[in-house]
């Protein structure tokens, strides 16, 4: 599969090129339709897919009711996340995953790709 690269501004005034994946999420508990498509940044170094809390809320998740966990990114700063079971829609596939949701993401979502 080929991934498009997009140029995103950084918070330090520069910019970075990231591989992006058109994706959607749905709430498996409610058998809901998927949310609107959005571009998730591909992070091959991540251990889990993470999305902004607003995406989870849009598919009916009560974010704070998820299993609380913590992750540490490149910055070294611990980030509180809430884990939920969701369906991840990527081109040609629907994958059931356990994803983290937090308000502390600089982008809508990060998808772990092997």
pLDDT in tens, 47-96: 889 999 999 999 999 999 999 999 887 667 888 999 999 999 998 999 99
Could you report the per-residue pLDDT of 15-36, keeping only the tens digit for each? 888 888 899 999 998 778 899 9
| Alpha carbon of residue 50 to chain centroid | 4
Rounded distance between C-alpha atoms, residue 23 and residue 50, angstroms:
13
The whole-model pTM stands at 0.84
Q: Decide which of 66 and 41 is more confident.
A: 66
pLDDT for the residue 111: 63
Look up the domain containing 38 and give its range. 4-111
Contacts of 12 (CB under 8 A, 6+ apart): none
Q: How many residues can be counted in the chain?
A: 114
Terminal-to-terminal C-alpha distance of the chain: 12
Give CB contacts under 8 A, 24+ apart, made by 29-34: 29/60, 29/85, 30/59, 30/60, 32/59, 32/60, 34/59, 34/87, 34/89
The CATH number of residue 105's host domain is 2.40.70.10
How many domains, in total, are found in the chain? 1
């Amino acid at each position: 599969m080929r991934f498009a690269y997009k140029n995103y501004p950084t918070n330090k005034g520069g910019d970075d090129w990231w591989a992006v994946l058109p994706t959607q999420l749905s709430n498996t508990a409610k058998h809901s339709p998927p949310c609107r498509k959005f571009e998730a940044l591909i992070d091959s170094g991540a251990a889990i897919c993470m999305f902004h809390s607003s995406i989870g809320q849009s598919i009916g998740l009560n974010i704070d009711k998820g299993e609380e966990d913590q992750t540490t990114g490149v910055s070294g700063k611990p980030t509180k996340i809430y884990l939920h079971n969701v369906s991840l829609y990527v081109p040609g596939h629907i994958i059931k995953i356990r994803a983290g949701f937090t308000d502390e993401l600089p982008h809508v979502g990060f998808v772990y790709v092997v």
